[in-house]
Structure 1
Amino acid sequence: MPAPFRTRDGTALFHRDWPPQGPPQGASGPPVVFAASWSLPSDSWCYQMLALAEAGFRCVAYDRRGHGRSDDPGRGYDFDTLADDLAALLDHLDLRGATLVGFSMGCGEVLRYLTRHGAAGRVARAVLVGTTTPKLARAPDNPAGLDPALLESFRRDWLMRDFPGWIDANMEPFVSPETPAGLRHWVRDMALRSSLQALLECHRTLAAADFRAEARAIGVPVLLLHGERDITSPLDLTARPTAALLPDARLEIYEDAPHGLFLTHQARLNADLIAFARG
């Protein structure tokens, strides 16, 4: 197991680095770097990483601070610091020409990395899966957004009182009816390994974020993959306006798909990632 690397503020972050496994065996493939969603660690990407490693890619994923096996430092849950953590990983491994893949909150980290650090030869393209960008909360200039009081109610009534109960109540719309019970339990277990303090601060960051201006400055091709029935990140609030803002973007809508595409649509998602990462 790779040793954790340390970020600029000394936080130790766990990461996994899988070499290409497909023919020719052991060849050095282009890197694909995965940023997980709010509450989930790098384990959540394993079914994508297995498929891409078999297709000849080097696959790297990490646990966000306060998630999984990374440190729980009690600070640094703003998007600038989280983007700096991603930059520290790319620098630590000296990755070049990478495809960055974010899911849900991880999409904001990918975009903030690109506007804060630039591609600089390290990043060739990006994928946003079930994105929460450009802006979730309702505001005078974002009337279709989610009611801030509703977001605060989630934090006060569920996250700070009964997070396991919230997971159970919201698992059904996160997946599909045919999703096996074992996969549902796996997601629940992963989420419960995250620091509640980290989840609280990350959710506040997520709810307050506004990527509308910086999305226009992204200088690499971006593929957006989004479920048609995603109620966590509604398509018309997130993926469609994000795609419209990005200079070079393509949006692929998965018909009748929920937010948890990495579980419910593994084969299609993996095929789309492989095709796009090959350039």
Structure 2
Amino acid sequence: MATTTPLSGHVTASDGTKLRYTQEGPPGAPDLVFLPGWAQSATIFRKQVDYFKANFRVTTYDHRGHGESDKPAFGYHIARLAADLETLLSQLDLHEVTLIGHSMGATVVWSHWELYAHDRIARMVVVDMVPVVTSNPGWSEEEKATFVTLVAPGGSHGIANALTGLGGEATVGGMIKNLFTPDVDQADMDWVLSENLKLPLEHAAALFIDHAAADWRPMMSTINVPTLLVLSRGEALDPFPSVQWMASQIPESKLVVFEKGEKGSSHFMFWESPERFNRELGKFLASS
């Protein structure tokens, strides 16, 4: 298929917030919608847009507060972001959509699945996300071994306070650095940080607390569309048991793993190793 001139604009949420989106690819082609993670802008997916736009209509957008979207003083909750996703799907009239969520973006997809009809969704792709972020002191030893979490109880408030304190920008910079491999270009790192800082730090803190509090495990077995789970094992914490558990709960799931030591095996493997990521995503789209 031939590509077309990129389309950009805004959709308007029910509370008046304008959400910036872009579309590339032929009208009528299968729809892909990419959802960035916490504090990321839609431009983080440009290597995927460039790859898939020949044969798919690719939509990316900025969550409220992020990137080029409006930055209201309220609404920094996963459920509100899920409502914003519903706004995007309905106002752009997208159908048979593959939703591709990175990190927190995947939880927006899960929240949307819980709250809204499923008639527009054909597939899900979950990129480097676990079903529960914060550990529970009451877990059994088996649960502790299975659910590898990112935050200790109360830890999200400590991170939020660091974000809103005097060293907030440095806190973001440290978090970003730990999510890439040491091989990433400094220019790329600086660009990602500049995009992150478009989300005001007080809103970043509020959203992080809400994100960290959620437990999505009970709804995993309700996902009845083909689902690709993409995992990096190259990070300090290895969430492989958690993602294996998710794969056991979602009937039509496939797991793709970027192993420790593999080129670009980081939280941003789609940026650092786009060739393999795009190939794996393409195979999933062709087979499901």
TM-score normalised per structure 1? 0.90
Q: C-alpha separation between the residues in 1 aligned to 2:203 and 2:175? A: 20
Give the corresponding residue for 1:29: 29
- Cα distance in 2 for residues equivalent to 1:240 and 1:136: 15
Alignment partner, residue 157 of structure 1: 162
CA distance in 2, matches of 1:262, 1:194: 22
Aligned residue number for residue 136 of structure 1: 133
The residue that corresponds to 1:205 in the other structure is 210
For the residue of structure 2 that corresponds to 1:60, the secondary structure is strand
Q: Does the alignment pair 1:6 with 2:5?
A: no
**Match in the other structure for 2:277:** 269
Cα separation, 2, equivalents of 1:164 and 1:153:
15
Counterpart in the other structure of 2:250: 246
Q: Quote how far apart the aligned CAs of 1:83 are.
A: 0.9
1:49-64 matches, within 5 Å, as 49-54=49-54, 56-64=55-63
Aligned residues: 269
Task: For 1:179-194, list aligned pairs within 5 A.
Answer: 179-194=184-199
- 5+ long unaligned stretches in structure 2: 1-6
Cα distance, 1:158 vs structure 2: 4.0
Q: What residue in structure 2 maps to residue 23 of structure 1?
A: none
Alignment CA distance shift 1:175-1:153 (3 Å): same
Contact 1:135–1:210, Cα closer than 8 Å, also in 2: yes
SS at match of 2:257: strand
Structure 1 residue 149, shift from structure 2 partner: 3.0
Shift of 1:215: 1.3
Q: Which residue of 1 aligns with 2:4?
A: none
Partners of 2:97 and 2:122 within 8 A in 1: yes
Cα offsets for 1:158-205 (capped at 9, x unmatched)? 453323212333444311222122211111111111121221111011
Q: State yes or no: 1:125 paired with 2:133.
A: no
Asked if the contact 1:74–1:197 (Cα under 8 Å) also holds between the matched residues in 2, the reply is no
Map of 1:46 onto structure 2: 46
Task: Please name the residue that 1:24 is paired with.
Answer: none
* Aligned counterparts of 2:240 and 2:70: Cα–Cα separation in 1: 35
Q: Residue type matched to 2:74 in 1?
A: R
* Matched-pair identity in %: 26
SS in 2 for 1:202: helix
Is contact 1:159–1:166 with CA below 8 Å preserved after alignment?
no
Query: Given residue 114 of structure 2, which amino acid in structure 1 is its aligned partner?
Result: T
Q: What secondary structure sits across from 1:3 in the alignment?
A: strand
Looking at structure 1, the residues matched to 207 and 249 of structure 2 have their Cα atoms a distance apart, in angstroms, of 24
Q: Which runs of 4+ in 1 moved over 6 A?
A: none
Q: Do the aligned partners of 2:233 and 2:240 also contact (CA within 8 Å) in 1?
A: no
Q: Per the alignment, do residues 168 and 83 of structure 1 end up closer, same or farther by CA in structure 2, a change over 3 Å counting? A: closer
